[in-house]
Structure 1
Amino acid sequence: MRLRRGLAIAGVAGGGAVTTLLVGLVTNAVSNESRWPGWLGWLQEHAWFSFVVLGVTMAGLTALLAGLSEARPSTTPGRSEDGAGPPGAAQVLRSLPRDTAAFTDRVGELERLMGSVRASQERGEGLPVHVIDGMPGVGKTTFAVHAGHLLSERFPDGQLFVNLNGYTPGRTPVQAGEALASLLAAAGVPTQQIPVGDDVGAVTEARAAMWRSRLAGKKALLILDNASSYRQLEPLLPGGSGCLVLVTSRRRLVASEEVVMSVEALPPDHAVDLFVRLSGRPADGLDRGVADELVRLCGCLPLGVSLLAARLRHHPSWTAEDLRGRLMVARDRLGELRAGERAVTATFDLSYRDLAPERQRFFRQLGFFPGTDLDSHVGAALGEVPALVARRHLEALYDDHLIDEQPGSRYRLHDLLRDYARGLAVEGDSMGDHVQAVQRVCTYYLAALADANGHIVRSGAAVPPAPDGASRVETPAMESRVGALSWLEAERANILASVRQANGLALYDLVVRLAAAMAPFLRQAGPWDQAVGLHRTAAEAARHTGDQRARGDALAELGVVRRFMAAYPQAIEALNDAVTAYEAVDERRGKADALNQLGIVWYLTADNEDASRAQAEALSLYRELDYRLGQANALADLGMTHRQMSRFDAAVEAQSEALTIYRELGDRYGEANSLRDLGVVHCLMGAYEVAARHHREAFDIYLELDDREHQAYALNELGVVRRLTGDTEGARTAHSQALTHFTELGDRFGRANSIRHLGVVERAAGDATEAIRLLEEALDVYRELGSRGGEATSLSELGVARGIVGGLDGAVEAFQSGLRILRDLGDRCGEAEVLNHWGMLLLNSGEPRAARRHFDQALTLARDTRCPLEEARALEGIGRCEWTVDGPGHGVGSLRAAVTVYRRLGVSAAVDDIEQLLV
């Protein structure tokens, strides 16, 4: 693309140089009849030289222009490349909108479309994309939806409808990546699994690949409504041959694999038939000639015909002649418009002026709605009326054909009618009315979000407050977490559109508050790139207002989401900036929260000293503030860091105190998390029965909370205990279940953990080759995510597996690399494990004296850290080295000491091996 742009610019500039040269030569020839003055005379005498210089100059400019073209980054219209602008989302319906009574005729077009589909399916060919184009108001969407209903039985795997907002007034066209995210979610893909990132192009390609994979082998129907360009819709096209795609657009979108179908205005006789049917009048009671004139006056467009018929139906005393006279008056009022615009706009004007004054005002306000579809509660906020009154207005406007009905008692304006409504509204105090309407909508969403967050935010956590006057705002009933999440998903696109609108109108306080109110939902529901864009926008809005605390809140949320995306450097940067913002206004609670999150990121990257320091500082601030939930969170995270540094007693102490506080607060999530980490510590300390009990208790709570992510983490930990106690099959089952959860949820770090654990299980089961494959896969992911702890653990196990298959050099290299990382991290228990593995490799390779040195080091480390499993392994290794060097019967004391520890741990397989040797 960039090369083509550069070549195009070069061609234009080069052509300009040649043209200039030719014009100059002609001018010079003509001017020979007179002498040019001054230095121009020298140019006249040396014309060829001067124009060569000009040509070279133009060529230089050409090269510069081309270079600039190559260097200029490609951007998506309406959105910055780095995603810094307000986020967007597409509104997707999981089923087709309702068919309309306004549909008439189109027999030829329908036969052509259905015949094309039948022929392709019967021949087993891939279904071509069918593009339905035509002028506004001609009925493209109505035609596509009607055809979709007729064809739906041929596509049993689902029907999806998405409005791409190609020509929606007040809305930027939906970008392909945004549409793909919404389509994937509508198709059942967990939002955490949807690819995210800062490279818009790469993310769009990844989502498109997932979308094609999702629909592979399926027979589904997809309607892409209101497309602005082929570039916008191309990534949305399924790759499989069994899916039908119908596209509607005002433009002619051309591609070789498409079937283009133009929908024209209705033939006059068909338009008259539609008019008669919708007017509710008997055909013999209408003057056919007048009806014919009426439909011609509105261009025979179905939208205009429907509006005219509705007028006649609602005025039983009117005749068709009365309606014609009123329409002519309306056309005269719109005389400044082009003829094509007058044809349909006059029908809008006639319908609008027939409304009662209060309904006229309500209709005008609908033109200011930032979103796509709305319910009676949003209508109430826009129109400043009770929800019951708004519902009546919406139903009446639908009855008048001025709005369309959507599933779920929702409504939307046709693009032409939205434009008309906005035009009416701006005739008065345009900016003032617009700003106030957006303020009312945003205030409504803030009030509704406060209700929703009451169901989805953890017990004891801060909930973004409701706006002033929230008690006067009518919000929908949300009686459960499921209801709240359902409402949030339905309104996601509209809320994000409201943020865009508010940001564009410099309503920065509303931007900040809406972003904070949406944060809990986007944290758990994603896609996280939407959250990144939202919180970046909020941070910039807070900068405009000078509110450092709000800026800190937005940056802290940005850091949390970046952590979820495993973008750890960006998370650290955002959280450090948040700490700085909080310190500027002495906001200690915010600073503590940001430090707590920084500690988590450093824990995940195994920067244990920084993690410990951040959590200790956060804990101190929480205690000063007497904020119990914060204390519990900091203690729990500090306990995890102590455990990672092999400080097991400190880990148990911190985690037990956190567990007590969580139980006092009734925080089930916190309780389960602390139980799970206590299980990990007890497992490292060899208390396998206690560890298993903690993991089962944690899993049961996660099950109760329907938290599949943490269920997966508990399953992995339970699998480790099962493997260490000899239950290989039970371990494989637990890790496999965890892997399934993590894969479906899109958690790459958790998935890498499951793969690593399965690699260890395969090695223990005797399949070292499969173990190597799995461990190398996990290692690649850990390195990509920057997880040094995961990298070190994988290298340790990889060394063992490589040694089994005879790859001694590769095994030693893995042990050396893993040991370096573990020493940097201060993980002495992990270091002891690697030394034991390395020692056993040396012993089996005929180097018992070198092996003995490794076992001695491992024994010291294991006893210092109270890591009994590694202590037993070191004792066993020392005994076997003595047995090998000094002969049978030597090293018995070390071997029997190892048996004692193994028995206490319940590791019966190791006990059997040693006793067999001793016998």
Structure 2
Amino acid sequence: MRLRRGITIGVVAAGGAVTTMLVGLVTNAVSESEWPGWLGWLQRHAWFSFAMLGGATVGLTMLLAALSETRTPQQSPEPHQPGSGTEPPGAALVLRSLPRDTAAFTDRSAELESLVRSVRISQESGSALPVHVIDGMPGVGKTTFAVHAGHVLSERFPDGQLFVNLNGHTTGRAPVQATEALASLLAATGVPVQRIPVGDDVGAVAEARAAMWRSRLADKKALLILDNAASYRQFEPLLPGGSGCLVLVTSRKRLAAYEEVVLPVAALPPEHSVDLFVRLSGRPADSLDHAVLAELVGLCGYLPLGVSLLAARLRHHPLWSAEDLRARLVAARDRLGELRAGERAVAATFDLSYRDLAPERQRFFQRLGFYPGTDLDAYAGAALGSVSVAAAREQLDALYDAHLIDEHPGSRYRLHDLLRDYARGLADEGGTMEQVQAVQRVCTYYLAALSVANGHILRGGTATPAPPGVAAQVETPPMESRTAALGWLENERANVLACIRRANSLALHELVVRMAAAMAPFLRQAGPWDQAVSLHRTAAEAARHTGNRRALAGALAEVGVVRRFMAAYPEAIEALNEAVTEYEAVGERRGKADALNQAGIVSYMIADNDAAARAQTEALALYRDIGDRLGQANALADLGMVRRQTSQFDVAVEEQTEALSIYRELGDRYGEANSLRDLGIVHCLMGEYELATRRHRQAFDIYQELDDRVHQAYALNELGVVRRLTGDLPGAREAHAQALEHYTELGERFGRANSVRHLGVLDRVEGNVTEAIRVLEDALDSYRDLGSRGGEAASLGELGVAHGIVAEQDHAVEAFQQSLEILRELGDRCGEAEVLNHWGMLLHASGDWTASRGYFEQALGLARDIRCPLEQARALEGIGRCDWMADGPAQAEGSLSEALAVYRRLGVNGAADTLERLLASQAG
């Protein structure tokens, strides 16, 4: 192989040398000097030299291609195989702090000392901390060791401790995908949902999230426990990129990782097993027969889980002796002989503990085996067990005391994987119907709790009601505020999605549809949005199975809304239009109006103003027919935005004012703020700057009250525009910079592009034209990525001005032409007038006063038609300056004086002062 590779390299090198020589010959074929020997013959036959050069190049190219094809391919990881798109999403359970340390932890001093020493050496030397893989058989105490080690080392990692269950070997649960785990980790570390990457390409999304995760922890000292991993591939994307983070991985498998430290956790030594048993049994050591204890711990394989269960049995039966316990364990082990040999002993301890429970506690424990989620509280336990919450809490506490469940922070509980297997095995003896009924009960509970939570997070508190009779069947946790509701939803997200997956697998289609609809409001704002799209596609498929066209329409509408958030506008329009069709088919007018309203918003965002106006007008008529006041306000407000975008300012003010009145009537503060902000934009365009400022400040105050930072940033941007136009450049820069900071932190791409564009305009106004061009090109790229035609046109117009200032006239004209083409297509006459004025100034600066005056006259006509006084004043000033240069000051005085009066009325004092000095010079 090496000889063949060496020969190949030699051939390639020789070919390169020949080609280089031929290039030189051909290049000098027409030179005057004669080349010696056969080289001279080549020089005299230039065409033949060209042919030889082409042949050598082709041959070399073919050789290189063959080499690339025969090169031994590098082994690549198996590609992710996404489903059909209708599989319900999963979600990883991430704890923001470590689970509680357990009293059952014993010794492991050698393993713990090895881990602590490894961490200390790495930190003291400044080298990267390796991944520590803790492996061992089920029940050996891997998770317990990892959590205990985490508590011991927590002070060394002050930037946080995270615990993730990857479900690598959890019965009834698919292993957590990297994309799901990364989304949950990013959210747990404070990344807003808008910034978490989403998309349809699973591989690309995983890479983007992994990059963001590595960046998030780049300079941090944090501890990450990845529990129950199935493979190295599963957790590799979750590894931080920085050198200061410690990662502990637990797995039943021996994982092949790079640069890892493997910490095998074996069964306890016999003497340690006996010590643990004595400590947990609550009996004096001298009261126990140590020979019997040695046999007991040997029968459960020296596994801490089995030892803990045996000790708990003895503690709960003060009249038993160790010999009594041994006899019962032997009997249980014989009964469970059909189990796999590796788990037979510990399963026998489970059976012994289970048979020691009262019958009602046995039934409760069995039903826990049907729970689809990862962890649960007393409310979910009550639904599973068909008991009251008080009774469920009592049962859970008792099972915890019996070491049959583990306690997690927040009064939550979780079954060890082996115990989950055991409980499911017991429960399966009751048949499939018992499982279906258990899943139905817990899904019904979640529907009722989601209805309560949605009452706090939806605008106007209009929650989707739970199905009839559900509220009377179950108890729901107290949620007295929006904050409490969001906290509950965040904690239960993974469990609710797991329940939907299980319901879907059991063909409980009606439950799938209802739960997806109930989760929609939270996933709209909390995401991740790719999870939301997957969920609603699942709901749509479930609705098709049942023939429920109303539910199908609702699911499609939610897909459209989330796709809009993801800036996937064509897919959003397609889903919303399909939803409109389905709503029409079932005569559901409110749903149709909602879908039309959302479709109109998408059309507005891509500046398809005709389509947006049609959709909002039809939605408004439907809302009025059914008496939906909030729907009317929404449609009016969105229609007003379309009117403003098409320079119909009077109509825009009328429609927004009506919407504002309805929002105030309904007490909808969010809608009120939105209408105030858009009214501020219109008043700014109409030159009413004082009123515009007042509206924007009112909107900003409400957004602050609502803790809505995205819309605070929008209000700040609009305030910055007014400040720039009235000459307060420092105030404008402060507002735009603050808005940009908010947008960047929250991942709001469209708002960020707006802030960048406004800052570019400020750079140009302040004379930093080179920086202005760079910043405006950045904004232009962002708008094009987002498909925002209006933003693209605005950036091109400003780039034309900047290029004109640095005498790049061709670039300026090209930018103006592109901008005008888009603006005319969109019907934005105010923007068109602005660009025409800019182009007029460019021509004026070049001395072509006749052509310049023509552009100013076009701008003046547009500005007067739409009542845009600022562009009117700019056009009058331009006409006056052209007349001044062509015909003298006397001819220009009328236009310049009129422009001066408009500038003064608007408060644009900088431009007014300049004109005043010009007119004064003529008078002098």
TM-score, normalising length: structure 1: 0.91
The one-letter code of the counterpart of 1:813 is E
Q: Which of these residues, 389, 393, 396, is aligned with residue 394 of structure 1? A: 396
Contact 1:461 1:629 (C-alpha < 8 Å) held by counterparts? no
Corresponding position: 1:518 with 2:508: no
2:182 is paired with a residue of what secondary structure? helix
The residue number in structure 1 matching 2:673 is 672
Amino acid paired to 1:832: A
Are residues 851 and 462 of structure 1, via their aligned partners in 2, closer, same or farther at CA, if it must alter by over 3 Å? farther
Q: Contact (CA 8 Å) 1:712, 1:739: kept in 2 or not? A: yes
| Partner in structure 2 of residue 76 of structure 1 | 80
Deviation at 1:460, TM superposition (A): 6.3
CA distance in 2, matches of 1:101, 1:901: 80
Amino acid at match of 1:717: E
C-alpha separation between the residues in 2 aligned to 1:620 and 1:73? 55
1:75 shift after superposition: 5.6
What secondary structure does 1:162 align onto?
A: strand
Within a 5 Å distance, the mapping from 1:838-849 to structure 2 comes to 838-849=839-850
Cα deviations across residues 592-636 of structure 1 (Å, max 9, x unaligned)?
110111100000000000100110011111111111111111110
Other structure's SS at 2:891 match: coil
- Asked if the contact 1:167/1:173 (under 8 Å) is kept, the reply is yes
CA drift at 1:107: 1.1
Show the 5 A alignment for 1:51-90.
76=80, 79-80=82-83, 83-90=85-92
CA positional deviation for 1:127: 0.3
Distance 1:74 1:250, change over 3 A: closer
Structure 2 residue 500 is the aligned partner of structure 1 residue 493: no
Partner of 1:180: 182
Does the 8 Å CA contact 1:443/1:467 hold for their aligned counterparts?
A: no
Please list the CA deviations of residues 464-489 of structure 1 after superposition, one character each: whole Å capped at 9, or x if unmatched. Answer: 44553312311110011110010000
1:92 partner SS? strand
119, 125, 135: which one pairs with 2:121? 119
Deviations 1:325-367 (A, max 9, x none): 0001101111222322211100000000000000000000000
Q: Secondary structure at the match of 2:460?
A: coil
Task: Please state if 1:416 is matched with 2:418.
Answer: yes
Structure 2 Cα separation of the partners of residues 88 and 382 of structure 1: 21
CA distance in 1, matches of 2:463, 2:585: 22
Residues 493-526 of structure 1, C-alpha deviations (whole Å, 9 max, x = no match): 0001111111111111111111111111111111
Q: Which residue of 2 aligns with 1:870?
A: 871
State the 1:859 CA deviation: 0.5
- Aligned-partner Cα distance in 2 for 1:416–1:739: 51
Amino acid at match of 2:895: S
Partners of 2:141 and 2:466 in 1: how far apart?
A: 45
1:174 and 1:274 map into 2 onto residues whose CA distance is 34
Tell me what 1:704 maps to.
Answer: 705
Aligned to 1:376: 378
| Alpha-carbon contact 1:460-1:665 (below 8 Å) kept | no
Other-structure match for 1:231? 233
Contact 1:512 1:541 in 2 (8 A): yes
* Separation of aligned partners in 1, 2:876 and 2:687: 15
Cα distance change of structure 1 residues 460 and 258 upon mapping to structure 2, 3 Å threshold: closer
Amino acid at match of 2:639: L
- How many residue pairs were aligned? 848
Shift of 1:73: 13
- CA distance in 1: counterparts of 2:80 and 2:588, whole angstroms: 38
The 1-side partners of 2:703 and 2:85 are apart by 34
What is the Cα deviation at residue 758 of structure 1? Answer: 1.1
Seq. identity, %: 76
Deviation at 1:888, TM superposition (A): 3.6
Cα distance in 2 for residues equivalent to 1:507 and 1:160: 34
Distance 2:536 2:567 in 1: 17
Residue 278 (str. 1) matches residue 280 (str. 2): yes
Report the secondary structure of 2:224's partner residue: strand
Q: Which residue of 1 aligns with 2:99?
A: 97
Letter in 2 for 1:159: Q
The CA deviation at 1:761 is: 1.4
In the alignment, the residues of structure 1 paired with residue 808 and residue 445 of structure 2 have an alpha-carbon distance, to the nearest angstrom, of 66
1:235-314 equivalences under 5 Å are: 235-314=237-316
**How big is the alpha-carbon RMSD for the aligned residues of Structure 1 and Structure 2?**
1.5
**Aligned partner of 2:345: which letter?**
A
Q: Does 1:756 align with 2:760?
A: no
What is residue 468 of structure 1 aligned with on the other side? 469
**Counterpart residue type for residue 408 of structure 1:** G
What's the counterpart of residue 568 of structure 1? 569
Contact 1:83/1:198 (8 A) holds in 2:
no
Matched residue type, 1:520: P
Q: Which amino acid aligns with 1:452?
A: A
Q: In structure 1, what is the equivalent of residue 786 of structure 2?
A: 785
2:429 paired residue number: 427
> Which of these residues, 129, 139, 153, is aligned with residue 141 of structure 2?
139
Give, in angstroms, the shift of residue 462 of structure 1. Answer: 5.3
How far residue 74 of structure 1 moved from its aligned partner, in angstroms, is 7.0
Shift of 1:84: 3.3
Q: Distance in 2 between matches of 1:98 and 1:461?
A: 39
**Amino acid of the structure 2 residue aligned with 1:76:** H
User: 1:798 aligns to what?
Assistant: 799
Q: 1 CA distance for matches of 2:815 and 2:463? A: 46
Q: What's the CA shift for 1:461? A: 4.4
1:160 to 158, 162, 168: 162
Q: Are residues 545 and 75 of structure 1, via their aligned partners in 2, closer, same or farther at CA, if it must alter by over 3 Å?
A: farther
- Cross-structure match for 2:582: 581
Check conservation: 2:450, 2:519, Cα contact below 8 A.
yes
* Partner in structure 2 of residue 686 of structure 1: 687
SS at match of 1:247: strand
SS in 2 for 1:240: coil
Runs (4+) of structure 1 moved beyond 6 Å?
A: none
The one-character-per-residue Cα deviations of 1:412-438 (angstroms, maximum 9, x if unpaired) are 000000010000000122x10111111
1:69-106 deviation line (CA, Å, top 9, x unaligned): 99x997636x52x6432111111111111111111111
Query: What is the deviation of 1:842?
Result: 1.0
Is it true that 1:330 corresponds to 2:332 in the alignment?
yes
In structure 2, C-alpha distance between the alignment counterparts of 1:462 and 1:450, rounded to whole Å: 6
Counterpart of 1:795 in 2: which secondary structure? helix
> CA contact under 8 A between 2:850 and 2:882: conserved in structure 1?
yes
Alignment of 1:312-351 (within 5 A): 312-351=314-353
Alignment of 1:214 onto 2:216: yes
1:53 alignment counterpart: none
Measure the CA separation in 2 of the matches of 1:472 and 1:893.
Answer: 81
Q: Is the partner of 1:411 in helix, strand or coil?
A: strand
Partner AA of 1:453 in structure 2: N
Instruction: Give secondary structure in 2 for the equivalent of 1:227.
Output: coil
| SS of equivalent residue, structure 1 residue 348 | helix
Matched residue type, 1:148: G
After TM superposition, give the deviation of residue 773 of structure 1 in Å.
Answer: 1.4
Could you tell me how far 1:764 is from its partner in structure 2? 1.3
Residues 733 and 759 in structure 2, CA contact (< 8 A), matched pair in contact too? yes
2:440 alignment partner in structure 1: 439
